[in-house]
């Protein structure tokens, strides 16, 4: 018997994992990047919603690892391993990194593209292949991943959702 | 919040007063522009998480019309003027007489878009010049940008600076509303003023509360 599908929500600078008959979702990605790591045979997936490329930018008293590409992705990988994901089988799908507003003067305002670059660099270093991506542009995105099909649904304003 | 100063209730009251003054001027400008009475609701000053801030504006996934600008000069920060799509359509109808203008269906015209941008210019300009007069600080707004998109996508852009210091933000939130109208079909919008963390000391110093 099918049970009702649950949606696990991931906030901004937040992360979580999901197994089997549930999906994982984050809403309103702009310059932020949503990274999904998954093991398609174990039907386990994790998502992190990062805001910034590099934890060396952090000036807070206590760092939130899920906020940064370098620390967030690494932490998610470790959690997936401890929950039964096989490190050699992990794959990634990513979305976000838009340039929401057209200012180009400082680094901060190019944060979307910098986030994408950082995410790709970290994934390369961890030897996790990127199977699909929907990045860049100037539109916000809401994404939802289904670990049973390994499909990432991407919705933008005023257009039909697509699956990658 | 900030590494340098501890924010007290007195500081929050001062920020609230700043919001009051700025938004009172903006509401007056808007009343004149539209020739109707616009009410301003006393600002809320709150320390909220980023997700809570999205909720204040309707939820991370909600599509809204957002006008965004950066503040530069003696202090820096981000400012947003946010409207529901229905409100923005209503505004543009009032300003241009274009009844068919609709952000929902992207049935938009250049004149409608530019009147919306001009509205953002006028409101943010009057808000910030009042603030500048009050504090004696030099405050220069950048040209406002307009975006019709998800709340989370729009606002997170203004949180980049803050996010390097904290997972929470002080939001100076003002609601403006058309007088005597039902909530649903009135003009309603929010101003969000988000000073960058290092600007708090400057603001409080200028008002003698540091």
Establish whether A72 is a catalytic residue: no
Report chain A (164 residues): mean pLDDT per 10 consecutive residues: 73 93 94 96 95 89 91 95 92 95 64 95 96 94 95 91 93
What average pLDDT does this structure show over B137-160? 89
List of chain A residues whose C-beta atoms are within 8 Å of the C-beta of residue B149: 30, 100, 139-140, 157
Size of interface A-B (CB pairs under 8 A): 99
Are B207 and B136 in contact, with CB atoms under 8 Å apart?
A: no
Query: What are the boundaries of each domain within chain B?
Result: 9-207
pLDDT at A1: 43
Choose among A56, A67, A16: nearest CA to A37.
A16
What pLDDT digit, counting tens, does each position of B91-111 carry?
788 778 777 777 777 667 778
Place of tokens 């001027």: B25
Cα distance from B156 to chain A (closest Cα, Å)? Answer: 7
Chain A positions touching B65 (Cβ under 8 A) are none
Domains delineated in chain A: 6-163 (3.30.1330.200)
So what's the pLDDT on residue B187?
A: 59
Cross-strand bridge partners of residue B163: none
> B interface toward A at CB cutoff 8 Å?
3, 49-51, 54, 59-61, 63, 68, 70, 106, 142, 145, 147-154, 156-157, 159-161, 163-167
Choose the closest CB to A52 out of B145, B151, B163. B163
When pLDDT is averaged across residues B115-141 and rounded to a whole number, the result is 85
A28 and B152: CB-CB below 8 Å?
Answer: yes
Confidence bin at B3 (pLDDT 50/70/90)? very low
Catalytic pick from A10, A17, A24, A32? A32
Residue of A nearest to B60 (CA): A28
What residues have CB less than 8 Å from B1, skipping those under 6 apart? B7, B47, B165, B166, B168, B170, B197, B200
CB B170 within 8 A of CB B46: yes
pLDDT at residue B183 greater than cutoff 80: no
Residues 57-86 of A with CB under 8 A from B: 57-61, 64, 67
What ipTM goes with this model?
A: 0.89
**Domain B9-207 superfamily per CATH:** CheC-like (3.40.1550.10)
């Amino acid at each position: 018997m099918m049970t009702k599908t649950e949606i696990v929500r991931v906030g901004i600078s937040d992360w979580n994992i999901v197994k089997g008959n549930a999906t994982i979702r984050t809403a309103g990605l702009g310059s932020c990047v949503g990274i999904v790591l998954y093991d398609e045979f174990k039907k386990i997936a994790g998502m992190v919603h990062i805001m910034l490329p590099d934890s060396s930018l952090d000036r807070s008293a206590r760092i939130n690892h899920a906020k940064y590409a370098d620390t967030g992705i690494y932490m998610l990988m470790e959690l997936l391993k401890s929950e039964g994901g096989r490190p050699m089988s992990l794959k990634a799908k990513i979305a976000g990194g838009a340039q929401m507003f057209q200012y180009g003067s400082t680094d901060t305002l190019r944060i979307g593209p910098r986030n994408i670059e950082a995410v790709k660099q970290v994934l390369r270093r961890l030897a996790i292949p990127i199977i699909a991506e929907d990045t860049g542009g100037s539109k916000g995105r809401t994404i939802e991943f289904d670990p049973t099909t390994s499909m990432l649904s991407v919705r933008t304003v005023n257009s039909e959702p697509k699956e990658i | 919040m900030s590494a340098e100063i501890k924010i007290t209730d007195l500081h929050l009251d001062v920020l609230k007063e700043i919001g009051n003054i700025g938004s009172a001027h903006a509401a007056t400008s808007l009343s004149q522009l539209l020739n109707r009475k616009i009410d301003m609701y006393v600002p809320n000053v709150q320390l909220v998480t980023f997700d809570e801030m999205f909720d204040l504006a309707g939820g991370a996934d909600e599509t809204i019309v957002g006008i965004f600008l950066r503040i530069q000069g003696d202090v820096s920060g981000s400012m947003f003027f946010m409207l529901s799509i229905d409100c923005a359509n209503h505004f543009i109808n009032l300003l241009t007489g274009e009844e068919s203008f609709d952000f929902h269906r992207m049935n938009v015209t250049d004149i409608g878009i530019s009147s919306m941008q001009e509205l953002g210019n006028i409101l943010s300009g009057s808000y910030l010049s009042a603030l500048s007069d009050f504090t004696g600080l030099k405050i220069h707004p950048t040209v406002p940008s307009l975006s019709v998109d998800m709340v989370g996508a729009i606002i997170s852009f203004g949180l980049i600076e803050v996010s390097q210091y904290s997972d929470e933000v002080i939001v100076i939130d003002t609601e403006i509303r058309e007088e005597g109208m039902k909530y649903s079909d009135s003009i309603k919008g929010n101003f969000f003023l988000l000073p960058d963390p290092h600007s708090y000391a400057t603001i409080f110093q200028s008002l003698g509360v540091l």
